[in-house]
Amino acid sequence: MTAGIETSTIADRELVLTRLIDAPRAKLFQAWTRPELLKQWFAPLPWTTSTAETDVRPGGSSLIVMRSPDGQEYPNRGVYLEVVENQRLVFTDAYTAAWEPSQKPFMTVILTFQEDAGKTRYSARVRHWTVTDREAHEKMGFHGGWALCTDQLTALVTK
């Protein structure tokens, strides 16, 4: 596991990643909300992010497409539930554009960016609809994948 990253399973349907990052909250928030920045770090290498579209406001939709090394694309659609600039970002895949229910809701993500002695305590809480969904996310590589993406995010915001 990557140094400085804490990951855990909280309750039976939640996964959490926390890290202290030597960058201001605004830079992390922008990296999560600006498409040109999201594309630089969001997918765990050697995967890439081929598309990033964001309408960052409560009720706004997002589309992030991850591309595997063999070129297969995996679209991820969602809706922002809460946006507090530089502090908190909550989104879910339970809905797609215009509050249309998704075929299979999987998770809600709660990101927090807390100032901590000139650095940012970054936390990603991922709440799943079922225990089976949480287990599937762990098997897909939540701990390793989100840790690697957090390394890539850190590299971007600390340039």
Q: Are 9 and 130 in contact (CB under 8 A)?
A: no
Query: For residue 5, what are the β-bridge partners?
Result: 19
At residue 54, φ and ψ (nearest 5 deg) are -135, 140
Question: The pTM is what?
Answer: 0.91
Q: Residues 3-14: what's their mean pLDDT?
A: 69
Q: Residues 52-75: what's their mean pLDDT?
A: 97
Q: Residues 79-101: what's their mean pLDDT?
A: 95
**For all residues of the chain together, what is the average pLDDT?**
93
Report the pLDDT value the prediction gives residue 10, as an integer from 0 to 100.
59
Residue type, 137: H
DSSP labels for the chain?
--TTEEEEEETTTEEEEEEEESS-HHHHHHHHH-HHHHHHHSSPTT-EEEEEEE--STT-EEEEEEE-TTS-EEEEEEEEEEEETTTEEEEESSB-GGGPBPSS--EEEEEEEEEETTEEEEEEEEEESSHHHHHHHHHHTHHHHHHHHHHHHHHHHT-
Q: The domain containing residue 11 runs over which residues?
A: 5-157
Report the pLDDT value the prediction gives residue 83, as an integer from 0 to 100.
98
Report the pLDDT value the prediction gives residue 1, as an integer from 0 to 100.
45
Report the pLDDT value the prediction gives residue 147, as an integer from 0 to 100.
95
Q: Which pLDDT tens digit goes with each residue over 10-62?
A: 579 999 999 999 999 999 999 999 999 999 999 999 999 999 999 999 999 99
- pLDDT exceeds cutoff 70 at 74: yes
How many structural domains does the chain have?
A: 1
- pLDDT exceeds cutoff 90 at 154: yes
- pLDDT exceeds cutoff 60 at 85: yes
Band of pLDDT at residue 98, cut at 50, 70 and 90:
confident
Q: Which pLDDT tens digit goes with each residue over 131-143?
A: 999 999 999 999 9
Kindly report the CATH number assigned to the domain that includes residue 41: 3.30.530.20
Q: How far apart are CA 31 and CA 20, in angstroms?
A: 16
Q: Residues 144-159: what's their mean pLDDT?
A: 96
